[in-house]
Amino acid sequence: MDNKFYKINIYGCQMNVHESEKIAGILEEMGYTFTNDDNLADIIVFNTCCIRENAENSLIGHVGALKPLKKKKKGLIIAVGGCMTQQNGVGESLMKTFPFVDVVFGTHNLHNFKNLLENRIKTGKRVIEIKEGDLSICESITPKRTSYPNAWVNVMYGCNNFCTYCIVPYVRGREKSRMPSDVINEVKSLINEGYKEITLLGQNVDSYGKTADFNYDFADLITEIDKIEGDYRLRFMSNHPKDVNEKLVLAVKNSKHVCRSIHLPVQSGSTKILALMNRKYTREEYLEKVNLIRRHIPECAITSDVMVGFPNETEEDFLDTVDLVKQASFDGAFTFVYSKRKGTKAYDMDGHIDEAVKKDRIMRLVDVQNAINREKSKKYNGKTVTILCEDYDDKKGFYQGRDEFGRMIYFYSNKNLIGEFVDVTVVETGGISLKGEIKG
């Protein structure tokens, strides 16, 4: 039989990247081989995201661009899945807009993806399956991991927080935690296979176990995983500031493998806006959490997500955000312009902000964070740090890796060091990424 090829186009967050590894696992089991070339592919999958409007727009453009190829290659199968299709009515309207799309599936339909494809192939009929309601966790899919030495492991799915700007709870459903033993066994085998950095994933890892019928929280989970012997690092994301507590911080502090690095999305520095966002903490309470972390682990990196332009955000509210960003002195921050998402509470709020004002605010915010990054970079000058070599950058001709605080460092080596912990001395500091030389 001829080789059959698949390609996956991935949008959105780390969760989606990992989910795409599961899709790849299913396809490989069905006998497909990976390709990066649309022309070679027998099946092209889009794993979509709808967190912001531009994520959706780029997806629509990319699917549309396949029309001529599909005309030329009748057997080509195009499948669209993920968060975007799970929104109210969007899956159906994608089927209408793109008559050449063969399979549309929701975020809860991954375990059935093989059947959907087989149906399409057998019957020649287009298939759509979008399951509403609770997710049933499927432990039987073996992901095809593509990021050695890094590996991602879900600890939970879904979100119960309903931040008023956010579409995730609507497209990913309610929180569901995996059994501790399933998570621990997966991490164990990854370490045995030689993976060096394991990142535990959840929309809000701190609520791990809260809605489950076992009495075991996230701090317990990382403490247990940390006992696994081996040369590896453990990370996790994301944290919700309302749920970060001393037990978790101490678990990080007392561990051997957990990186001293915590992603703590703040969103806004204005208590008024935080309330409108339904974040369940005030500006002061957030800064308290930052203090809690730095009190126990002074060197801990804290990174964040910050948003501008939420409805009713005044210049004063924005300046509160800028002030908080300076005060917290983040080791890195993802900055976002608020994007209206149909179906969320904020969509129907009054007081939406002008695009030009949003643009101005994001530029000012980015400047502030860049200045902090530069200051922090300077402190690296001349320092020797241990990094995990993760990749080789063809264009730059450098290997690259991150220290435990998440800082990317580029360095030259004449031998392949991917997957090894390497000591490098930082010789050049620019923006957020640094250049180093191998020690010795």
Q: What's the closest the beta carbon of residue 11 comes to ligand SAH, in angstroms?
A: 13
Burial of residue 399 (CB within 10 Å: 0-12, 13-18, 19+) is: buried
Q: Looking at this protein, which amino acid is placed at residue 162?
A: F
- Give the angle 380-382-387 at the CA atoms, nearest 5°: 60
Q: Which is nearer to ligand SF4, 17 or 418 (CB)?
A: 17
Q: What's the closest the beta carbon of residue 262 comes to ligand SF4, in angstroms?
A: 15
Q: Does 80 bind ligand SF4 (CB under 6 A)?
A: no
Structure tokens at 115: 């059947």
Segment interacting with ligand F3S (CB under 6 A) among 164-172, 231-239, 371-379, 430-438 = 164-172
Cβ distance 234 to 225 under 8 Å?
Answer: yes
Q: Which is nearer to ligand F3S, 86 or 223 (CB)?
A: 86
Note the residue count of the chain: 440
Q: Does 13 bind ligand F3S (CB under 6 A)?
A: yes
- Can you tell me whether residue 129 is helix, strand or coil? strand
Q: What's the closest the beta carbon of residue 274 comes to ligand SF4, in angstroms?
A: 12
Q: Which is nearer to ligand SAH, 166 or 262 (CB)?
A: 166
**What DSSP string describes 210-255?**
TTSSS---HHHHHHHHHTS-SS-EEEEE---GGG--HHHHHHHHT-
Structure tokens at 9: 């186009």
Q: Which is nearer to ligand F3S, 307 or 388 (CB)?
A: 307
Q: Does 51 bind ligand F3S (CB under 6 A)?
A: yes
**Partner that binds at residue 15, options ligand SAH, ligand SF4, ligand F3S, none, CB closer than 5 to 8 Å by kind:** ligand F3S
Q: What's the closest the beta carbon of residue 106 comes to ligand F3S, in angstroms?
A: 11
Cβ distance 164 to 349 under 8 Å?
Answer: yes
Cβ distance 70 to 100 under 8 Å?
Answer: yes
Q: At what angle do helices 180-193 and 218-226 cross, to 10 degrees?
A: 30
Q: Does 50 bind ligand F3S (CB under 6 A)?
A: yes
**Partner that binds at residue 276, options ligand F3S, ligand SAH, ligand SF4, none, CB closer than 5 to 8 Å by kind:** none
CA gap 331, 376 in Å, rounded = 7
Q: What's the closest the beta carbon of residue 140 comes to ligand SF4, in angstroms?
A: 26
List interacting residues with ligand SAH (CB under 6 A). 51-52, 165-166, 168, 203-204, 238, 265, 267, 305, 307, 336, 338-339, 341
- Could you say which of 7, 16, 269, 400 contacts ligand F3S (CB under 6 A)? 16
- Could you say which of 65, 162, 256, 423 contacts ligand SF4 (CB under 6 A)? 162
* Binding positions for ligand SF4, 196-215, rule CB under 6 A: 203-204
Q: Which element (helix H / strand E) includes 371?
A: helix 355-378
Q: Does 110 bind ligand F3S (CB under 6 A)?
A: no
Q: Which is nearer to ligand SAH, 128 or 135 (CB)?
A: 135
Q: Which residue's C-beta sits nearest to ligand F3S?
A: 12
Beta-carbon contacts of residue 233 (< 8 Å; ≥ 6 apart): 196, 197, 198, 257, 258, 259, 388, 404
**Partner that binds at residue 336, options ligand SAH, ligand SF4, ligand F3S, none, CB closer than 5 to 8 Å by kind:** ligand SAH
Beta-carbon contacts of residue 395 (< 8 Å; ≥ 6 apart): none
CA gap 388, 368 in Å, rounded = 29
Handedness of CA 112, 117, 120, 123 (dihedral sign): negative
CA gap 187, 197 in Å, rounded = 10
Q: Does 334 bind ligand SF4 (CB under 6 A)?
A: no
Segment interacting with ligand F3S (CB under 6 A) among 10-18, 176-184, 278-286, 357-365 = 10-18
- Could you say which of 44, 79, 151, 166 contacts ligand SF4 (CB under 6 A)? 166
Q: 156-181 burial by CB neighbour count: b if 16+ within 10 A, else e?
A: bbbbebebbbbbbbbbbbebbbbebe
Q: Does 13 bind ligand SF4 (CB under 6 A)?
A: no
Q: Which is nearer to ligand F3S, 15 or 234 (CB)?
A: 15
Q: At what angle do helices 246-253 and 218-226 cross, to 10 degrees?
A: 10
Q: What's the closest the beta carbon of residue 87 comes to ligand F3S, in angstroms?
A: 9
CA gap 201, 402 in Å, rounded = 19
Distance of CA 439 to the CA centre of its chain: 32
Q: Which is nearer to ligand F3S, 146 or 255 (CB)?
A: 146
**Partner that binds at residue 94, options ligand SF4, ligand SAH, ligand F3S, none, CB closer than 5 to 8 Å by kind:** none
Residues forming contacts to ligand SF4 in the complex (CB under 6 A) are 159, 161-163, 166, 168-169, 203-204, 240
Residues forming contacts to ligand F3S in the complex (CB under 6 A) are 12-13, 15-16, 49-51, 83, 167-168, 171-172
